[in-house]
Amino acid sequence: MIKTGKIILALSFLVIAALGQNSMHKKQHPNVIIIITDDQGYGDLGITGNPHVKTPVLDNFARESIRFNQFYVSPVCAPTRSSLMTGRYSLRTGIRDTYNGGAMMATEEVTIAEMLKQKGYTTGIFGKWHLGDNYPSRPGDQGFEESLIHLSGGMGQPGDFTTFYKRDSSYFDPLLWHNGKQKAYRGYCSDIFAREAIGYIEKNYQKPFFCYLSFNAPHTPLQVPEEYYNRYKNIDPESGFQNDSRPFPEMNEKDREDARKVYAMVSNIDDNVGKLLQKLDELRITENTLVIFMTDNGPQQRRYIAGMRGRKGSVFRGGVRVPFYFRLPALFKGNRDIEVPAAHIDILPTLSELCHADLPGNRIIDGKSLLPVLNGESIETFENRPLFFYWTRRYPERYNNIALQKGPFKLVGHTGYNASVERFELFNIREDEYEQHNILASNKTLAVEMKAELDRLLFEITSAPHLLEPPRIIIGSEQENPVYLNRNDAGGPRGIWTQEEIFGLWKVQIREGHYNIRFKFIQPLESAGTMFLETRSAIIRAENKNIPTDIIEMNDIYFPKMKCDLVPFYATEGRRILPLWVELEKVLPQDISNGQ
């Protein structure tokens, strides 16, 4: 009996020890879910003071969470997403635009997914990626084991050619990209992305996972199921603010109708977030799952934005201040506010420390771990560090739509490259949160110091190797064959979109071999002409008399190994027409494929 009792006692200690180790493992490696929405501004939530939009799930989630009330991102989406993924300012990563060939992140960058994968996490993305649609910049090339995405910056855009032709119904029953392959889905896009994310969590919840649920809503085109639109079709989004002393934009009827659709799309997101949070409860993993909710920039259209100045694309607070809610019950008490300035660049270093994953080495990490702030420790380094903001099309324009924020002060430039400091604006955002009063004239010494710091940071970032030597799409790899070159990644003049007569090129790295090539045009070609494909080493041309047609083919084309600008165009009757997309498939030489 005594021996049996000793055995039982020993076994009990082993069980307790095992449970303790398991609990410690969970605390060291919590599950991570990042939910980010697209073009949902700070004011598009009930909890931030909007009386029209109904977001009961997100409002309640915010109340349960740690609320970072001074959280900042980039003015537009691809830069925000690259900074979130890498902890670095976007220009360091090669991301300089949302299209124009500037939304491809360098493969050498280390993402959150790659960092956590090294610690045994499974990794999945569902929704918008916008950091490169071809190898080696796709989610699967950057650490995500499971990916379900649309292409380019938005569904229905010319870059997302699998939904482009659906026009006003591109958000419904879409053709998406699952692990790099096209796959048809039924339903509304936000429902699909949330449903697949929940399914991924169900399959992987017994070990640490990272789930990146990146809604493309409420980005344009503003499409939403009728049941949600009906909730808002009779509201006046401009009403209810007459006695509000904060600045409010004037809205025309289109603005009001856009707001109704946006609020409907946000309510749909709210319901889907509710389903995800409920699943965490059902699986009993809520306590040890970090859930972050944020948005990628300010609103695109005029509507309530809590009085802030500027919208999407602007370095004023309306373009860069967003909601950020952080909930991890096992480690942090919720329902509290943090007023320390924080930013998208802080997410990766925070997860590195929280999940005990090694911070990427051999590179500058611009962000800081937020764990000291979360634990109530010293915050002085956060209060006084500089935060850099910029946005102009194609490349940074020196001193145009650029800002440096440090402590309560923010220096803003909307001027020329050689402007003196007097042409800048300086705001004390602690006393003037709506950025209405330029105090530079009475604080010139401070402005000069901040401009000097801005100059140093701007020089450093715009000298980044990935900006000076942009990432290239690799043609002919085993990882992606065929390759579809889409218009989001086409360089050339500003603003390549749906134009037909426009010059365009793709920066590529071709591996030696024989290729079959297809060129797809937006509209059928109505007249005979010549298809040209220019490379670094040769120009290939093919006469075409097969009209009307929207597809032209070139087969068994040999390319040597090279880096080049790939320039396709169809010449006819004095016009040069750019394809919507180009498909290149590496094949065996024709004589071998024919058995000769």
What pLDDT, on a 0 to 100 scale, did the predictor assign at position 364? 98
Q: Average of pLDDT values for 413-430?
A: 97
* Angle formed at CA 42 by CA 37 and CA 47, multiple of 5 degrees: 100
Crossing angle between the packed helical segments 77-86 and 347-354, to the nearest 10 degrees: 30
Confidence of residue 495 (pLDDT cuts 50, 70, 90): confident
Q: Using the predicted structure, report yes or no on whether residue 275 has a pLDDT greater than 50.
A: yes
Q: Using the predicted structure, report yes or no on whether residue 396 has a pLDDT greater than 80.
A: yes
Q: Using the predicted structure, report yes or no on whether residue 2 has a pLDDT greater than 60.
A: no
What pLDDT, on a 0 to 100 scale, did the predictor assign at position 24? 52
Average pLDDT for the chain: 94
Q: Average of pLDDT values for 398-424?
A: 97
What pLDDT, on a 0 to 100 scale, did the predictor assign at position 588? 85
Closest CA to 163 of 152, 259, 328, 587: 152
More confident residue, 110 or 27: 110
Is the peptide bond prior to 548 cis by the omega test (within 30 degrees of 0)?
A: yes
Contact present, 126 and 492 (Cβ < 8 Å): no
Counting residues of the chain whose pLDDT is more than 70, the rounded percentage is 94
Confidence of residue 594 (pLDDT cuts 50, 70, 90): very low
Alpha-carbon 341 to chain mean position: 21
Q: Using the predicted structure, report yes or no on whether residue 579 has a pLDDT greater than 80.
A: yes
Q: Using the predicted structure, report yes or no on whether residue 596 has a pLDDT greater than 50.
A: no
Confidence of residue 5 (pLDDT cuts 50, 70, 90): low
Q: Taking the CB of residue 362, how many other CB atoms lie within 10 A of it?
A: 6
Buried b (16+ CB within 10 A) or exposed e, 381-409: ebeeeebbbbbebeebbbbbbbbbbbeeb
d(CA 109, CA 118): 15
Q: List Cβ neighbours of 569 (8 Å cut-off, separation of 6 or more).
A: 503, 504, 531, 532, 576, 577, 578, 579
Confidence of residue 242 (pLDDT cuts 50, 70, 90): confident
Domains of the chain: 14-238+249-382 (3.40.720.10), 396-467 (3.30.1120.10), 473-593 (2.60.120.260)
Q: Using the predicted structure, report yes or no on whether residue 128 has a pLDDT greater than 60.
A: yes
Three-state DSSP at 273 gives: helix
Q: Average of pLDDT values for 247-276?
A: 97
Dihedral class, residue 141 (left if φ above 0, else alpha if ψ from -120 to 50, else beta) = alpha
d(CA 392, CA 370): 29
d(CA 553, CA 567): 15
Q: Average of pLDDT values for 333-353?
A: 97
Q: Using the predicted structure, report yes or no on whether residue 18 has a pLDDT greater than 50.
A: no
Quick one: DSSP state of residue 423? G
d(CA 572, CA 195): 47
Q: How far is CA 529 from CA 441, 532, 538, 550, 552, in A?
A: 62, 10, 19, 13, 11
Q: Average of pLDDT values for 17-33?
A: 66
More confident residue, 6 or 240: 240
Contact present, 350 and 91 (Cβ < 8 Å): no
What pLDDT, on a 0 to 100 scale, did the predictor assign at position 342? 97
Amino acid at 234: N
Q: Average of pLDDT values for 544-549?
A: 96
Quick one: DSSP state of residue 172? B
Q: Average of pLDDT values for 397-419?
A: 97
Give the HSE-up count for residue 100: Cα atoms under 13 Å, Cβ half-sphere.
15
Q: Taking the CB of residue 509, how many other CB atoms lie within 10 A of it?
A: 16
Q: Using the predicted structure, report yes or no on whether residue 456 has a pLDDT greater than 90.
A: yes
- For residue range 59-111, what is the model confidence (pLDDT) as tens digits? 999 999 999 999 999 999 999 999 999 999 999 999 999 999 999 999 999 99
Crossing angle between the packed helical segments 253-282 and 56-64, to the nearest 10 degrees: 60
Q: Using the predicted structure, report yes or no on whether residue 590 has a pLDDT greater than 70.
A: no
pTM of the model: 0.94
Q: Using the predicted structure, report yes or no on whether residue 20 has a pLDDT greater than 70.
A: no
- With tokens 């389903």, the residue in question is 275
End-to-end CA distance of the chain: 85
- For residue range 285-338, what is the model confidence (pLDDT) as tens digits? 999 999 999 999 999 999 999 999 999 999 999 999 999 999 999 999 999 999
Which two tokens mark 437? 């009063």
Q: Average of pLDDT values for 38-49?
A: 98
Phi and psi torsions of 384, nearest 5°: -105, 0
Counting residues of the chain whose pLDDT is more than 90, the rounded percentage is 91
Q: Using the predicted structure, report yes or no on whether residue 14 has a pLDDT greater than 80.
A: no
